[in-house]
Chains A and B, each alone.
Chain A
Amino acid sequence: MSEVTINVNGRTVTKTVEDRTLLVHFLREELGLTGTHVGCDTSQCGSCVVHVDGKAVKSCTMLAAQASGSSVVTIEGLANGAELHPVQAAFKEHHGLQCGFCTPGMIMAAVDMINRHPEGLDEATVRAELEGNICRCTGYHNIVKAVLAASAAMGKASKGKAKAA
């Protein structure tokens, strides 16, 4: 057993857990933050993506103990009260989801992607960057639209838009 202290969505929590506890299980079962999903056994689907110290990672492929001392942001930490994060708003506006299972991971990946590309995004970049997130429903088109719209809305003129204008 290990004592694990993590700042999750701005709140510092300490729990004693088995060393083999995955971060995703820590979030879902110890903290009840069930927005972060588990879609596979093999570290391939990306539905578990959260931010650890500002970087998108698969919370199913990390021990909670590895994250001790770090700051974690989950899908629950994005909205400001009733006001959706611009990426969440764009997924809603552009219908970037059907069943919604992949959506938390998609949105956390999209926020990370937009942060890493302050110069803006084009469609090819978004599609390449979504490599680690699998969606069984949408065919990705509306997800890509939503990410591009969010990138533009977040005050970072996207290359694709600039070209179209």
Chain B
Amino acid sequence: MYSVNYHRAASVADAVKKVKAGDGKFLAGGMTLIPTMKSRLAAPSDVVDITRIASLSGITVSGKTVTIGATTTHAEVATNAKLAKVCPALCSLASHIGDPHVRHKGTIGGSISNNDPAADYPSAMLALGATIVTNKRQIPADKFFKGLFETALKEDEMVTEVTFTAPAKAGYAKFPNPASRYAVTGVFVAKGKDGVRAAVTGAGDNGVFRSKEVEAALAKKFDAASLDGVKVSAKGLMGDIHATPEYRANLVVVMAKRAVAAANG
């Protein structure tokens, strides 16, 4: 790791000020940033630890409205009893990120800000139609995820929380890479009052996206059988050593079926 200056922020304003002072990065769980710095792929001049800002952590559920603070860990999301009552799919998703040690540190805000094309949370945010709240504004998930590791966030902008209305039904299924547990392909489906939304992670050449084919099939009937015979185009899908675009296209349908089956319990 290259030399770096560590700061601990007392408040969101303090964090933003400290990040702006140099070529700084916000540091939450560090489950991506620290490994990237260790391998010298990232070399920020400063890291600003935001995990001691109490207002950024925690889960509130009021009625169907769910709000999750940016530094809430995957372990906290996985085991939150109130969230499990209204949106168990999100608890299940969080319980399969990485491994137990990663889940103790990694945060929802960090995951969506990094927007790794194979991360789990971006698909949930997109399918749930979540609102990403930052220190400056509110951004709908549809406008937040911009591409590979790219989001609508500006340099001095920080995610503070995410909020969404729990849908009537939701489910998530992924085909995990056996080594990293990142999604080779993962699909989050949600059936809410505005219809069905299905978001795919791990497969898109340009990061997380909504699958028109899956949504159209499920709009008729929210049932795994509705996806029988549905074909997803391999165009625009990722090809790498783990899977070809065609293989991923097939996985989209298979994972969508499993997600719907999970949602229908």
Which A residues are closer than 8 A to B by beta carbons?
Answer: 2, 18-20, 22, 41-44, 46, 49, 55-58, 60-63, 65-66, 109, 112-113, 116, 129, 131-133
Contacts and interface: CB of A to CB of B under 8 A. Distances in A.
Interface centre among B37, B75, B98, B104 (most CB of A within 10 A): B104
B146 interface: no
B104 A55 contact: yes
Nearest to B99: A132
A84 B77 CA distance: 34
16 contacts: A19-B3, A19-B6, A20-B4, A44-B179, A44-B180, A49-B101, A55-B104, A58-B102, A61-B30, A62-B30, A65-B6, A65-B8, A66-B30, A109-B101, A132-B98, A133-B99
Nearest to B179: A44
Given A46-B99, A131-B100, A132-B98, A63 B34 contact: yes
A56 B30 CA distance: 15
Contacts of A131: 98-100, 181
B4 A62 contact: no
Given A41-B39, A44-B179, A56 B6 contact: no
| Interface secondary structure of B, over-half rule | mixed
Contact of A112 (B27, B34, B100, B102): B100
Interface string B84-109: 00000000000000111110110000
